[in-house]
Structure 1
Amino acid sequence: MITPDPATPEGAAVIDLHEKMNDLEERAGEWPGADTVSVLDTWLARFDFTRPVTRARQVAGSVWVLRRQDRHEDEVTLWADEDSALATLAQHVRSSWDNLLGDDGIPECPPLSDREAVDLYYGPEAERADEHYSLYADDIGRLVRTQPAPDGFRFPDEEVCAAVNSAAVFHPMAGPDDEGLPCIEIAGVLVFAYLDADMQAVRVSVHLDTTDEPLIRSDATVPLHVEVGSSTVFSAGAVLERAAAGGWRQWLRRLVRPVQWARGARGD
């Protein structure tokens, strides 16, 4: 069973047709042929069947791509991070170390460092013979149908983003006994970054409950894109396009009060 999504043009059109046909049945007690054809003719005129569907590329994540080549293999593998890719390449290097023995400057055993072992085994890129490798980060893309944002939502333009970014506020801990956590606040979004002894890790937490209204879409979501280094670890609602201009001064005025309140609370 398919449920039409009223947030999409196609879903809204299907719901509208359903309502028109229900109205016709209530008036006539049935679907008279001539009236039905008239309703469908008007409804179908809303669609364009002559042009291909336009699709836009969105980033869904990122991976590290490792390609290893020799006379017998040309292998491509994908990895979540650079260290993992380098570690698997180093495993191959160590298993093939005997190929280097006897060459000048080559130790009997490979170095413990993965990077050193790989660099020593393959040598400078310009001097590699039969064996090569490449390792780089790349985005995982997906093509989605372009359509109007829900209820005409538009993300703030470049000028607005620059002004809001410059108004970001940092809330530090008052001291080691402070029960709070260090946090940066921007447009109502709270981003905490701290050392977590329980998890034994640097922890980053994003809180969207107080996000300023202009950033909230009609489906109650906030476009969010998170990167660690050169890797995209999360992306939802992000679109690689310049936002439309307009309305930025009004947006800034709405932002002034929460920013001033945050600074007043800190005594700035």
Structure 2
Amino acid sequence: MLIKPDPATPAGEAIIDLADLMDGLQERTGEWPGADTVDIVEGWLSRFTFAVPEDLTTQVVGRTWVLRQWDRHTDDVTLWSNEASALASLAQEVRSSWDDVGGTDGVPYRPPADDQAAVDLYYGPEKNRGDAGYTLYPDDISRHVRVPLSLSLSDAEACAEANSSALFHPQGNPDDEGLPCIEIAGILVFAYLDADRGTVRVSVHLDTTHEQLVRTDGTVPIQVEIEDATVFDNLAPPPALPEPTGWKDRIRRLTRRTAPFGSGKLRQGVDHSPRNTII
């Protein structure tokens, strides 16, 4: 299928310009002379930039186990979510080919039930593997994302870009002290099963929230929903402090009556010593 450049885009317009330049060269010379072609392409390429944008940041979005298997005929690489799954797949393959090694060099005629033991017996020591072997190792999954220059909850485009950059941090294994967490705009939301309390627990941490989402009073606007019910929100601004009543109001009035004014003398109304006023 032929690609048709779109003249409405900068890239499409540039491609059409290059085609016009090369057509003009063909009309003038009847061919594409090497030196002239190089000059045209060099000038055309100068219109482009291939630099990596500086506002891209690298994020580790997950972890994978890389299994590479090779022999004289194949060299395959597969990715797995955990080590046990990769090892189980590898063990299944070596068991299907056990007749190739069973009964030789002390290898039993039947493969062991343990996956790692079966793989180790089949391939033997690493230094003696010859044309067949495997490697299995963990590696990070990374991506480049564009950091929004301005992040505002009223900007739909900025919110969508931040949402698309959200990260999920799974618990590595049952012995890992970490907990599954979603990270978005610096906000950490943990959701996990809490055996100590016998409950599903959701915990929101705001200490690292993107500063552009923090209101002037230091809070972050949040709305929490369970199913269709809103169980918490602080979307409305905090209410103004009520006017003091009762004894607080009386103390406030007395304080105003004794406040310095004019030349710094105290208003009359409350007896006081030369050093301080006792109410």
Q: Do they fold alike, i.e. is TM over 0.5?
A: no
Report 1 or 2 for greater relative contact order, CA contacts < 8 Å, sequence distance ≥ 6: 1
Q: Which has the higher helix share?
A: 1
TM class by shorter-chain length? 0.3 to 0.5
TM-score between both structures, scaled by the size of structure 1: 0.41
Whichever of the two has the greater Rg, that structure is 2
